[in-house]
Amino acid sequence: MPLRPAFAPYHLDPGILPEEASRTAALQSAGPLVVATADPLPAPLVSASYANLPVGRAASEAEACRAADGTPSGMGGPPRACLTSERHRARVADAARAALSAGFAGVAFDRPDASLAQGLFGAGFCAECQREFARRLVREYGDQFQPLDYLRLTREAVAQAPGAVDYTQLPFGRDFWRFRHDSLDRSLRAEARAARDAARAAGRPFAVAAWMEAVGPAQLAASRHVDAAVFPAPASGEPSPGLFALLRAAMGRRPVAVLPPAGATPAQRVRLAITAAPYAVGLAGLEPVGEVAGQLGRIRALVADVAARQRMPGTAAPVFECALFYSSEADLWTGGRHRRAIELAAAALASQHVQAPVVLRLADVPAAATVVLAGAEGLTPLEAREILRRLENGGGVLAFGDPSSVDEAGRGLGGFLPAGKPSGVKVNAGTVAQAIRPFPQFNAALTPRWSPLGNSWYDSLQVKVTKRYSRGLDLTAAFTWAKELSTNGTNGDVFNRATLKGLTGGGIPFIFVTGFNYELPRLGGNKIVRAAMGGWTIGGLLRYQSGTLIAVPTSNNNLTAHTFQATRMARVPGESLFVNDINCGCLDPYKDLAFNPKAWRDVPQGQWGPSTPFYSDFRNPRHPDEQLSLGRRFSLAKLREGMSFEVRGEFFNVFNRLMIANPGGAPSNATTFDNQGRLSGGFGRIDPTATTGGLPRNGQLVGRFRF
């Protein structure tokens, strides 16, 4: 059955009628509807909907797969099905035939990888799995292999291990880990074949889709058995172009969609859909009617267009300069590091506008393209030989890291790239960051000097008032209202400086400064009073301005290791930047923090942060500068010509304002207290011992004798 190009399946929300959901889906170009076979559904909708088959859930706890501790797999949740159970496969086949007879357009296998997602010890220890694993060991090591109690051996290994245990520390652990992954492939293949056989016997088209619980080598490999698939989006809710490219490579031209994480905001869902659209990856689920729903409808129409054209509309056929090679074997034996490196490399190359699709077979790499190996530490011997053959024929290889090969059990065979060959070796440090430097053969010794990079803008309103000296008073006052922008910011995508445009670190929008001197007149009829009170000069210098800008915190996404450039955290909409007003004069540095860590979140791995370097409403406390003086000059000309004595009292912070230091810390800093219960750490902590904010009211007496 030809599936709709814009594959965006959705479920019925509680309390929503199918007809109402269908109208909403039509406006958002979503579909098909996925419902349980027992749910009542109007006949016209049945033929366009998929039956939801919970193949990842066991019929009962008695039939569930078992964890290493003997409990039903599922960690307290729904019991997870056994991937090797013939009885469970027969039940799935019966459910698929029932959906076919009911007139559904297809079936959606719900979380067929549910037991695999439980990890190494969360499933695979039921009697059926152990029997199948024993047969596998016999086939692998020969008939002389003696039966063993693998569950007992596993428990003993776990009990004797000093810390965390992985498959390398278990007896036959590598064989068991591969067996677990291969079980998903065999299970999904058998279940999909049973559904297709029933459809073939009935003589009607019938689609088979899978709704995966996780993204991993087993899931990507098993997806070849279904007509369409849904994978979970990154848990952060932020888009990952490298992941979308990988999903597209795994599915070929078949429909694929991603499911946003629970709690994702409408803005995050739109960003996911926009980033996934160029890869013809849809977004599963429906949005409430509104602006976001309309946006998703237009984006899904674009996905359908891209799927039909095999490229973005209005663009020529791409010329692939590189091809990122993904190996499911390397992903399996590196615990996902290889897949993560693929995503990071794809993002880094995309930032350089390099056309680099992901391929799952070396045979699919265009002849003129360079093979990119990212974190490829577990390639098969066959894949290693193919890469060497490509090098011998004049091809190029760009390696991020140290590529190596392993045998069938995941045991390392060492590196395979030749040393000293001009093409196909590591670029210096072998990192993405080094590879995309203008001169990758050099390290950091090449430092640019006086590079004319970026632009700056300055706009201001400046007002100045001057009163010249008269009647004992002279005064000058100035007011500036300014805005200063530049693209010279750091901690961002320096390859696209337009994204760095924002406020400069030294930008102060409002500044008011006034200075004055006033000489007291000699008033009164009494000669002594006039001599004592007159001639004194009162001076003042007052400065009021906005607080200095606080830089957006640096994100902990390790982008520096791949581009030599850090990036900024993303601001969370709706969250206040401050938990307390830092200008209220009421903060207690021993109790109160200033900043709200919930206002910032880390950017996903391999991505630049969307924030500008500074935000106008994220500033340090205001520090007014208020100085007054009182002085007088006494003439001593009667003693000697030109002789005088001056005395002046100077006072700083005359109103004794609380001048707190600038808050510090990072959102990741934990809130800590000392042994006296006083605040000693946290995001937005103010150091009570620092004097950078200003001292309390103080003064000094100055005397000057002239002769």
Q: In Å, what is the CA distance from 624 to each residue of 208, 578, 660?
A: 70, 21, 11
pLDDT of residue 87: 93
Q: Are residues 418 and 525 in the same domain?
A: no
pLDDT of residue 13: 80
Boundary of a domain, candidates 188, 209, 232 = 232
Is residue 110 included in any domain, yes or no? yes
Is residue 484 included in any domain, yes or no? yes
Which range has highest mean pLDDT (75-84, 408-417, 423-432, 537-546)? 537-546
Q: Are residues 501 and 382 in the same domain?
A: no
pLDDT of residue 312: 63
Q: What is the total count of domains within the chain?
A: 3
Which range has the worst mean pLDDT, 192-201, 426-435, 439-448? 426-435
pLDDT of residue 257: 93
DSSP, residue by residue, 620-687: PPP--EEEEEEEEEEE-TTTSTT-EEEEEEEEESTT----PPPPB--TTPPPEE-TTS-EEESTTB--
pLDDT of residue 490: 67
Considering only residues 174 and 491, tell me which one the structure prediction assigns the higher pLDDT: 174
DSSP, residue by residue, 554-620: BP-S-THHHHS---BPEEPTT--SBSS-TTSS---TTT---B-GGGEEPPPTT----S-SEEEEEEP
Q: Are residues 530 and 650 in the same domain?
A: yes
Is residue 258 included in any domain, yes or no? no
Which range has the worst mean pLDDT, 214-223, 412-421, 426-435? 426-435
Average pLDDT over residues 251-274: 89
Considering only residues 419 and 575, tell me which one the structure prediction assigns the higher pLDDT: 575
Q: Are residues 144 and 182 in the same domain?
A: yes
Q: Are residues 423 and 506 in the same domain?
A: no
Is residue 39 included in any domain, yes or no? no
Q: Structure pTM?
A: 0.64
Q: Are residues 588 and 689 in the same domain?
A: yes
Considering only residues 369 and 606, tell me which one the structure prediction assigns the higher pLDDT: 369
Considering only residues 659 and 475, tell me which one the structure prediction assigns the higher pLDDT: 475
Q: What percent of the chain has pLDDT over 70?
A: 91
Average pLDDT over residues 5-34: 83
Q: Are residues 422 and 464 in the same domain?
A: no
Boundary of a domain, candidates 400, 435, 470 = 435
Average pLDDT over residues 151-178: 83
Q: Are residues 150 and 215 in the same domain?
A: yes
Is residue 276 included in any domain, yes or no? no
Banded model confidence at residue 114, pLDDT cuts 50, 70, 90: very high
Which range has the worst mean pLDDT, 144-153, 239-248, 499-508, 595-604? 144-153
List beta partners, residue 50: 34, 106
Q: Would the pLDDT of 603 be above 60?
A: yes
Helix (H, G, I), strand (E, B) or coil at 519: strand
The rounded distance, in Å, linking the Cα atoms of 374 and 399 is 6
Considering only residues 244 and 433, tell me which one the structure prediction assigns the higher pLDDT: 244
Which range has the worst mean pLDDT, 29-38, 180-189, 305-314, 575-584? 305-314
Q: Would the pLDDT of 82 be above 90?
A: yes
Banded model confidence at residue 513, pLDDT cuts 50, 70, 90: very high
Is residue 450 included in any domain, yes or no? no
| Nearest partner of 571 among 667, 486, 695, judged by Cα | 667
Q: Are residues 511 and 422 in the same domain?
A: no
Is residue 98 included in any domain, yes or no? yes
Q: Are residues 617 and 586 in the same domain?
A: yes
Boundary of a domain, candidates 232, 247, 272 = 232
Is residue 662 included in any domain, yes or no? yes
Average pLDDT over residues 482-501: 79
Q: What is the CATH number of the domain that holds 396?
A: 3.40.50.880
Average pLDDT over residues 407-412: 83
Which range has highest mean pLDDT (40-54, 139-153, 441-455)? 40-54
Q: Are residues 503 and 649 in the same domain?
A: yes
The rounded distance, in Å, linking the Cα atoms of 82 and 114 is 9
Query: Is 629 within 8 Å of 539 (Cβ atoms)?
Result: yes
Query: Is 672 within 8 Å of 682 (Cβ atoms)?
Result: yes
Q: Would the pLDDT of 498 be above 80?
A: no
Phi, psi of 432 (to 5 degrees): -60, -40
What domain range is 97 assigned to? 55-232
Q: What is the CATH number of the domain that holds 218?
A: 3.20.20.80
pLDDT of residue 444: 59
Q: Are residues 211 and 114 in the same domain?
A: yes
